[in-house]
Amino acid sequence: MHDERRRIEERVERLHNQRIKPVIHAAAVPLEVEAWQAPGEPVPFAEAAGASYEPFAKGTPWGPPWGTTWFRMRGQVPAGWAGRRVEAVIDLGFVGDWPGNQAEGLVHLADGTPLKAVNPLNQYVPIANPAAGGEEIHYLVEAASNPDILADDFAGPTPLGDVLTAGDQPLYTFRRADIAVLDEDVWHLDLDLQVLRELMVELGEHDPRRHEITHALDRAMDLLDLDDISGSAAAVRAALKPVLSRPAHASAHVVSGVGHAHIDSAWLWPIRETKRKTARTFSNVTSLADEYEEFVFACSQAQQYAWVRDNHPQVWARIQESVKKGQWAPVGGMWVEADGNLPGGEAIARQLIHGKRFFIEHFGIETKGVWLPDSFGYTAAYPQLARLAGNEWFLTQKISWNQTNKFPHHTFWWEGIDGTRIFTHFPPVDTYNACFSGEEMARAVRNYSEKGGATRSLAPFGWGDGGGGPTREIMERARRLRDLEGSAKVVVEHPDAFFKAAREEYPDAPVWVGELYLELHRATYTSQARTKQGNRRSEHRMREAELWATTAALHAPGYAYPYDRLDRLWKTVLLHQFHDILPGSSIAWVHREAEAEYARVAAELEELTAEAVAALGGGGPRVFNTSPYDRAEVVRTADGIPVYVRVPASGSAPLAPVEPDQPVTVTGRVLDNGLVRVELAEDGTLASVRDLRAGREILAGQGNLLRLHTDLPNYWDAWDIDKHYRNRYTDLLDTESVTVVEADPLVGAVRVERAFGKGSRIAQTITLRAGSPRIDFETEIDWHEAEKILKVGFPVDIRAAHSSAEIQFGHVQRPTHTNTSWEAARFEVSGHRWVHLGEPGYGVAVINDSTYGHDVSRTVREDGGTTTTVRLSLVRAPRVPDPGADQGSHRFTYALLPGASIEDAVAEGYALNLPLRVADSAGAPDPVVSVDGEGVTVEAVKLADDGSGDVVVRLYESRGGRAAGVLRTGFALAGAQVTDLLERPLETADTAGGAVPVALRPFQILTLRLRRAEES
């Protein structure tokens, strides 16, 4: 047989695209359209319904950036269309190749009932099937003219990312608003051809199935009457039925399709727009569920449900009904799909607590898995936290984006730092917006790493980010691919069903130990430093407010624990941990609002903490220590006078001076407190840091060396830092001044000021205090650079085989060598409050109060010694998607801690992030809880969420070894239970002797619920 594939394929392509697709809607009549431009921000339906509308013609430009235009559309179904499937088709002027992230509209009936959204790939609104003829149409369409920020693949900076700079020129041109007949024979033929053509081109050149499909298509096209596509479509479909009916091979891979609509809670649009995106998408989904009984839609992010509940109660009611029918699957159990690295440990716990509780309360469903497809790496603390919240599985997708190394598994057990394992899956389809194309199905099979051990994978399908979610066309593809030779088999089902089947068939799945590091998007540890600082400060202020509110509730008569306010504030903090807000990868509008929200959170938490402390009564200044470690350090009085004090962990003490062992001396540029001696060079860097206790020099080069690097990644400016940034840099050695600013027996400080770059300035106050080896670098930056990154380095004379960086409820060790491509790819990594470098018998830590990104490297000197250098990433200057990212003022502190053990690093990390509070108070109650036993660290103290008055304490082992201790209470203890994160009992704890003995494995998290004895 002659090879005529090219002729046939080109023939089918032309007929499909040019003759069949254009007549899917067989007949159409235009709707009468009028428009009203809402002023400013979006308005409620009632206001729009009462507005004055003007006639509006097809082809008219509309929609200033971030504007809202309401269209009133009216018409009548022609009587002659009785018995046909009739729908409205609305094209707002969709542009580009994205299915979302641009113009979107929500269609309402005249009474305000939301019907369905219109999106680029979802332009229809059902009217009647079958129509009676004569139906009156009266719609009000709320159309959002959101700019396509991603246009031209982020080719350059754009002012469109903030309503303050976007201008008012119309973005879109209205194309169509018709009542139309859906020709179902033609529509189904179009789908038949899509599936067969895509399958055909994915099959091998010598695969008989490919040739079978090719010639079947050729014969079918002979039956197509070009003068009567509609009339001949059924015959063409009949001719194709045999090749569409051939069953899949018995060994065919099984794809579990799960409806999905990944909606970023903010990204290239502000939070206010996400509230509307969710309503549009959820309207589409509930409408689709009415059409396809097998449809199942998985939806995460309790926050988005709450927005719909509060703003669109009719859509919320439809969601509740879909959940009851089993077509809507709440998943994820988190408040939002948070960043996987940056939130603190307690914050991730609260993400899971608030998310799972929401779904239990509103749907009676306890979610079983963590659904986090799109985040930029995943902390090794996740397995334990997920399991403690009652989860059985974990799903993500993003690791498939690795630049260097292909992750070796798709289905596996993920083991966290404490040894907890959770069953985990990466969909080999490599997308969380699948549409069941032939290319996707072939990729899923080709890519699947578990061949020979397992046979199934999961594919989330549907258009996200304003694309409207799954479509009827995707569902029709799924039906055709249910059992089709040459393709993977598609079954639409609940993700719990997939994970159950996957685990049963693959009980001995491989194990991956430690963090899931994404070899991409490493700059998300640093971009938008003020957003990150707002998060860090908020997390610690929440801890402070809860601790002292609990103390006041136990000891101050008449004080009421602020349950509702704390709940609301936590949810605000959790929202802003979303994986495009906290990482710094959103438009300017998002980060401008985030900074304002963090300021509001800070003000209210300060008020709550002050109220709690004041409730304990007045009587003189006291020092309050929120840290879980005893403190002996310098604080300042209201007059700024330094005082050295000792304060117990989670407790308070009078502001009474205690004499330190040795005072601080300042001689020229040398600071000495008897523990360490710090010498500054003329250029303001550290020339020497000598640990007087150990008798050794710490530095092996210039310490506190600020280095300005050129930072232009190949793509994704706010997200990425590429390795070539290291090749071009300037060391900031020029100084304007090096000045001693304090020479008190308790505090010595030198201020170094520099100007650099394009008008930027940096001022650092380098401080050494009595009684502490910690050297603080209080830093003020006025930043005006573009496409740069500022790092600060400390080369230390330590041969460290690995670095240790704090993560949630513990730390991870990372090799300092680059033996393999896996280590070499970790040229920028994340950590929380500290990084530790050590060799047997000695260590050094670098502490910070708001920095997450860092790198660690080592070299061998000519003298044979090893220099290990840790560098913090302080601030960046990407221009896309926010051209003004990080511009302006920054204030933060980092510190060098010589002679530090891991336990020292933990304690000083808390201390730097939880400053001692001086307040007028007569109250001197015992700490709510105290712990004897090294390595047992209290992370949270609060009252139980159920209002019972029980005290909940969350603690963990922080050194990486086994720990034993005793937890004592500052109140009469009646009983204790070990609980899960949701404060539900797991087992009864021993309370003999009025205390709770605690034994923890390395990095174990333990939540205790303590019942108070009734007062006599």
Per-chain mean pLDDT for the chain: 97
Q: Does the pLDDT at position 151 exceed 90?
A: no
Dihedrals phi, psi of 978, to nearest 5 degrees: -80, 130
- The model's confidence at residue 18, banded by pLDDT at 50, 70 and 90, is very high
pLDDT digits (tens, 9 = 90+) for 369-425: 999 999 999 999 999 999 999 999 999 999 999 999 999 999 999 999 999 999 999
Give the pLDDT score at 1015. 63
Residue range 328-366, pLDDT digits in tens: 999 999 999 999 999 999 999 999 999 999 999 999 999
- Active-site residues: which are they? 374
Cα dist. 953→612, 832, 928 in Å?
A: 18, 22, 9
104 forms beta bridges with: 144
Residue 555 C-alpha from the chain's centroid: 39
Q: Return the ∠ at Cα 347 (arms to 554 and 832), rounded to 5°.
A: 115
Residues 730-748 pLDDT 10s: 999 999 999 999 999 999 9
The backbone region for 408, taken as left when phi is positive above 0, alpha when psi lies in -120 to 50, beta otherwise, is: alpha
Per-residue pLDDT tens over the stretch 671-711: 999 999 999 999 999 999 999 999 999 999 999 999 999 99
Give dist(CA 492, CA 478) in Å, integer.
Answer: 8
CA separation for the pair 596, 905 (Å, rounded): 32
Q: What is the DSSP letter of 19?
A: I
Q: Give the chain's largest Cα–Cα span.
A: 101
**Residue 52 DSSP code:** P
Q: How confident is the model at residue 97 (pLDDT cuts 50, 70, 90)?
A: confident
- Nearest Cα to 115, choosing from 139, 99, 146? 139
Residue in 285, 169, 919, 265 with CA at minimum distance from that of residue 612: 919
> Which phi and psi (to 5°) does residue 620 adopt?
135, 165
Average pLDDT over residues 563-585: 98
Q: What is the identity of the amino acid at 719?
A: W
Distance between CA atoms of 726 and 527, rounded to whole angstroms? 17
| Angle subtended by helix axes 313-325 and 302-311, to nearest 10 | 130
The answer to whether 828 and 510 are in contact (CB under 8 A) is no
Instruction: Report the C-alpha gap between 963 and 937 in whole angstroms.
Output: 10
What ranges make up the beta strands (E) of 797-833? 802-807, 810-815, 829-830
CA atoms within 13 A on the CB side of 554: 29
DSSP category for residue 983: S
Provide the β-strand partners of residue 743: 748
The two structure tokens encoding residue 128: 């009647």
Contact 346, 587 (CB under 8 A): no
List Cα–Cα distances, 883 to 157, 721, 854, 980, in angstroms.
Answer: 5, 17, 24, 44
List all residues 6 or more positions away from 848 whose beta carbon is below 8 Å from its beta carbon. Answer: 833, 834, 872, 892, 893, 894, 895, 912
User: Beta-strand (E) ranges in 530-630?
Assistant: 621-624
The amino acid sitting at 237 is: R
Cβ count near 78 (within 10 Å): 17
Q: How many angstroms separate the CA atoms of 574 and 568, rounded?
A: 10
pLDDT at 170: 97
Verdict on whether the full-model pTM lies above 0.95: yes
- Alpha carbons 355 and 525: distance in angstroms, whole number: 25
Which residues have CB under 8 Å from 473's CB, separation 6+? Answer: 121, 191, 435
Bigger pLDDT: 513 vs 922: 513
Sheet strands side by side (includes 124-128): 25-30, 176-182, 86-91, 124-128
Q: Report the interhelical angle of 208-221 vs 5-14 (nearest 10°).
A: 50
* Among the listed residues 992, 988, 1003, 1005, the one whose alpha carbon sits nearest the alpha carbon of residue 966: 992
Are the C-beta atoms of 918 and 643 separated by less than 8 Å? no
Question: Which of 559, 570, 551 lies closest to 624, judged by CA?
Answer: 551
Beta carbons of 548 and 406 less than 8 angstroms apart: no
What's the one-letter identity of residue 781? I
Beta bridge partners, 988, equal: 977
pLDDT for the residue 1016: 35
DSSP 993: G
Long-range contacts formed by 204-209: CB under 8 A, 24+ apart: 207/486, 209/246, 209/485, 209/486
